């Protein structure tokens, strides 16, 4: 570019035009590149919590006040994918969380959580956000039949975690923000190991954020067009596998039972963000046969054990984020000879489309707020 500024008066006009065009194009390209860069936010927070006694079996553990530290990295979406604009450009991030439960029976935990952070209200210097994330947590101690038998909350050291938060960030300088929030953290192993009461931690959060770019302004051309499949019906065929323990004593013989399901579901895309689902599915839980034998349950004539197979119908919703979807189902059993559970069930999960046709899910199936199985699902969309 320096040659444009060393021109002599003898240069003809076409060279000045060429230089101006080149410089203008470079400036525009540089501006577009700057506008498309996804700004990052780095945060460090302290957390103070209490343990909810959500069942009488854990009241002896809900006496301490855990404290924690969190480090996280967020990136501001910019419109490079259509769903960014549909959700008004949320942030996506990764958080590392440490908790000390100030109780030797519970020890400490370490967790890594991926999350999405959506602005409820945003100005040039203030933000009110809602955050939802999930990940994995590791506990330094867990239930032990001999050394830690009072720990009814945590049956295994590896657990899933769910995190929700409402947070307020206010600028104290061009790049530094003060963050205050209220949060809810949950840790559970999804009944893969017993006991599995889980830990629920309502928390207050206080910390600081470093913003690479404050008051992010997306480009008008980033607004995406409507998807072409709105209003269309589709069919999902899928199967899932899970394993679980029945009782605490199963730990000591390393006994786990398989749980299978097969599902056919019809869906309709309602709008940019939502699918409505109606499904029919069948279940076979091998732990129920073991429970029958342990309890001597022979309720049918002739001493025959009731059928452990179940069938259910559900209505569900999928909240769409590009290839990723947050899944929620409410189902009722229509075939349930062995009454081992309530007549209804719920399911929460994350679904990801590897291709246009093939998807995978990680789902938590629940009976009346108690985890039944952590399902790993694969399927196809027709």
**Over the stretch 327-370, which tens digit does the pLDDT of each residue have?**
999 999 999 999 888 999 999 999 999 999 999 999 999 998 78
Angle at 153 between CA 149 and CA 155, to 5 degrees: 65
Omega into 361 within 30° of 0, i.e. cis? Answer: no
Q: Please name each of the domains of the chain with its CATH number.
A: 40-221 (2.40.160.20), 227-381 (2.40.160.20)
For the chain, residues with pLDDT lower than 50 are 1-35, 300-301
pLDDT score recorded for residue 86: 87
Q: For residue range 96-121, what is the model confidence (pLDDT) as tens digits?
A: 999 999 999 999 999 999 999 999 99
Q: Among 327, 312, 329, 250, which Cα is nearest to 286's? A: 250
Q: What Cα–Cα distance (Å) separates residue 139 from each residue in 62, 100, 107, 111, 198?
A: 17, 10, 7, 9, 12
pLDDT for 296 equals 67
- State the pLDDT at residue 368: 84
Predicted local distance difference test score (pLDDT) of residue 254: 67
Question: How far is Cα 344 from Cα 283, in angstroms, rounded to an integer?
Answer: 13
């Amino acid at each position: 570019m320096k040659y444009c500024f060393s021109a002599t008066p003898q240069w003809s006009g076409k060279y000045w035009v060429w230089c101006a065009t080149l410089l203008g194009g470079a400036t525009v390209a540089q501006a577009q590149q700057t506008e498309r860069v996804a700004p990052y936010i780095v945060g460090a927070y302290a957390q103070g919590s209490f343990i909810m006694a959500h069942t009488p079996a854990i009241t002896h553990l809900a006496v301490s006040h855990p404290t924690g530290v969190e480090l996280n990295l967020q990136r501001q979406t910019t419109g490079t994918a259509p769903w960014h604009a549909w959700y008004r450009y949320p942030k996506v991030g990764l958080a590392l969380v440490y908790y000390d439960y100030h109780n030797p029976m519970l020890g400490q935990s370490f967790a890594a959580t991926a999350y999405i952070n959506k602005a409820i209200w945003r100005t040039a210097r203030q933000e009110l956000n809602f955050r939802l994330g999930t990940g994995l947590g590791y506990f330094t101690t867990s239930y032990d039949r001999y050394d830690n038998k009072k720990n009814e909350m945590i049956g295994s050291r590896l657990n899933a975690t769910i995190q929700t938060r409402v947070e307020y960030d206010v600028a104290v300088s061009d790049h530094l923000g003060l963050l205050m929030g209220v949060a809810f953290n949950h840790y559970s192993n999804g009944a893969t190991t017993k006991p599995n009461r889980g830990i629920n931690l309502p928390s207050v959060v206080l910390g600081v954020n470093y913003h690479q770019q404050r008051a992010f302004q997306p480009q008008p051309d980033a607004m995406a067009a409507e998807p072409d499949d709105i209003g269309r019906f589709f069919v999902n065929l899928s199967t899932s596998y899970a394993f679980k323990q029945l009782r605490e004593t199963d730990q000591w013989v390393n006994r786990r039972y398989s749980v299978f399901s097969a599902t056919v579901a019809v869906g309709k895309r309602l709008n940019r963000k939502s699918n409505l689902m109606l499904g029919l599915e069948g279940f076979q839980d091998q732990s129920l046969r073991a429970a029958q034998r342990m309890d001597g349950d022979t309720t049918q004539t002739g001493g025959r054990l009731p059928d452990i197979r179940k069938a259910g119908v559900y209505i569900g919703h999928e909240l769409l984020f590009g290839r990723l979807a947050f899944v929620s189902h409410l189902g009722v059993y229509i075939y349930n000879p062995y009454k081992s559970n309530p007549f209804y069930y719920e399911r929460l999960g994350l679904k990801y489309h590897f291709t246009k046709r093939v998807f995978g899910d990680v789902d938590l199936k629940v009976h009346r707020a108690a985890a039944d199985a952590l399902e790993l699902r694969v399927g196809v969309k027709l």
